[in-house]
Amino acid sequence: MRYVVIGNGVAGTTAAENIRTMDHDGEIIILTEETVPFYSRIRLIEYLAKEAAEKDIIIRKSDWYEKNMLMLRLNAHVSEIDKDNKRVVTKNGESLPYDRLLIATGGISFVPPIPGSDKKGVFTLRTIRDANEILAYAEGVKKVILIGGGVLGLEAGNSLRKTGHEVTVVEFFPRLLPRQMDPEGAEVLKAQMEGMGFKFYLGAKSKEITGEDRVKGLLLEDGTRIDSDLIIISAGVRPQAGLCKGLGLTISKGAVINDRMETEIKDIYAAGDLVEHRGMFYGIWPAAQKQGEIAGINMAGGNAVYEGTTMSNMLKVVGIDLAAAGDIDADGKLESIVQKDKDKYIYRKLVIKDNVITGCILYGDISGYQKILRAIDGKKNTGDIRRKIEKWDLSGL
């Protein structure tokens, strides 16, 4: 049996690992456009801050691939999939046959149609190649603008703040981290970041990136001009679905797959930030990892089912712990228990519906997060321990 995996992110690498566990003799080839083996995208922030070297963020070294008899092909750009003859064609004309194929090409940074976004000094951050380009350009500049107040953007900005740059955040939404924070929690985060030296323009729309061939600043819709030497656009991720479109597969929020990670074409599977499952596009590491596991097992003849993943994030924002899961009830329509300490920059919230915890936000203090996550997943009735929970005693969960 010959397996070909396109993509060496968490989904593709986990799939290859699980194929090998099930099939000790099959040939497994991993093709990737990346220049290095499987690395942590999460730790790109440390790399950008010069707090970690390339070798530090690589998760799977060369000897791991050799030990597991996995053939990793770096700088390998797949241009076409010939489904009729079951072959993968690379940009340099090489044709590789497969019996089972996994497409795990992940996502690409979304760049809004802002005039001037093609100028020198405008970047996105998704890969180690992007990080290297930003580091090289940032050497000779001082002022940085982040377009987008999401996690990756804020973290990238903090990395450049640590290397001596002035950082301004321009966010279309009226608050930071709209997917992980409600308005009250976002205010705590903003206050702490302003104390670090960040400047903010919230509820602001970018009109044009100014300058001749190089970035000189950003013009907002309300006429405000902000000087800048470097701009990082962090406006979300879109599925890298070109190969799937070429196959004629259904693309909605992502490439549509079933519970076995199968596409509509026999022997072609998909997983990770590329896919949509039961109407959900996750775009988070735990989901991609689990999907890769399910795909690998089934490609090797197993019978595993993906039931979905609770939307949760445990991360650091500007070096501060943040965990969010389930329904954060940003509009304040549900019942919630909130603990807030402005002086210590702590904000914690439990969202409750019918005595069941349905979501949470933990900022500055994430103790008890795993207990809360298990309670959300298990739909645990908390009626008998309600008084404890109101005092943030989570021992009964």
Return the axis-axis angle of helices 151-162 and 183-196, rounded to nearest 10°: 10
- Name the 3-class secondary structure at 152: helix
The first and second tokens of residue 389, run together, are 């929970």
pLDDT at 250: 96
Q: How far is CA 34 from the centre of its chain?
A: 17
Choose the final residue of a domain: 299, 316, 341: 299
Q: In this structure, are 143 and 171 located in the same domain? A: yes
| Residue 357 shares a structural domain with residue 294 | no
Containing H/E element for 166?
Answer: strand 166-171
Identify whether 311 is part of a domain: no
- Do residues 158 and 138 share a domain? yes
pLDDT for 316 equals: 75
Last residue of a domain, one of 218, 233, 248: 233
Q: Give the orientation angle of helix 128-138 with respect to helix 151-162, to 10 degrees.
A: 40
Q: Are 60 and 208 members of one domain?
A: no
Does the residue 314 lie in any domain? no
Residues 104 and 69 in one domain: yes
Tell me if 328 sits within 8 A of 349, measured CB to CB.
yes
Looking at the structure, tell me whether residues 129 and 229 fall in a common domain: yes
Is 396 domain-assigned? Answer: no
Residue that is last in its domain, among 193, 211, 233: 233
SS3 per residue for 367-381 = CCHHHHHHHHHHCCE
pLDDT tens sequence for the chain (397 residues): 999 999 999 999 999 999 999 999 999 999 999 999 999 998 999 999 999 999 999 999 999 999 999 999 999 999 999 999 999 999 999 999 999 999 999 999 999 999 999 999 999 999 999 999 999 999 989 999 999 978 888 889 999 999 999 999 999 999 999 889 999 999 999 999 999 999 999 999 999 999 999 999 999 999 999 999 999 999 988 999 999 999 999 999 999 999 999 999 999 999 999 999 999 999 989 999 999 999 999 999 999 999 998 887 777 778 789 999 999 999 999 999 999 998 999 999 999 999 999 999 999 999 999 999 999 999 999 999 999 999 999 998 9
Residue 233: phi, psi to the nearest 5?
-95, 120
How many residues are there in the chain?
A: 397
The CB-side HSE value for 158 (13 A sphere, CA atoms) comes to: 22
Q: How many domains are contained in the chain?
A: 3
227 lies in the same domain as 134: yes
Q: The domain containing residue 250 runs over which residues? A: 2-108+237-299
Same domain for 103 and 242, yes or no, is yes
Cα–Cα distance list, 138 to 113, 120, 141, 145 (Å): 24, 12, 5, 12
Residue 397: inside a domain: no
Instruction: Look at the block and give the residue holding tokens 């099959």.
Output: 26
Q: What pLDDT is stored for residue 319 in this prediction?
A: 79
**Within this chain, do residues 336 and 291 fall inside the same structural domain, yes or no?**
no
In a domain? residue 309: no
- 101 and 55 inside one domain: yes
Dist CA 44 CA 120 (whole Å): 22
Residue 395 within a domain: no
Give the domain CATH number at 171. Answer: 3.50.50.60
Based on the domain organization, do 207 and 245 belong to the same domain?
no
For 299, list phi and psi in degrees, rounded to 5.
-60, -30
Neighbours of 142 (CB within 10 A): 12
User: Rounded to two decimals, what is the model's pTM?
Assistant: 0.89
DSSP per position, 284-332: SHHHHHHHHHHHHHHHTT----------EEEEEETTEEEEEEE---TT-
Q: Based on the domain organization, do 10 and 57 belong to the same domain? A: yes
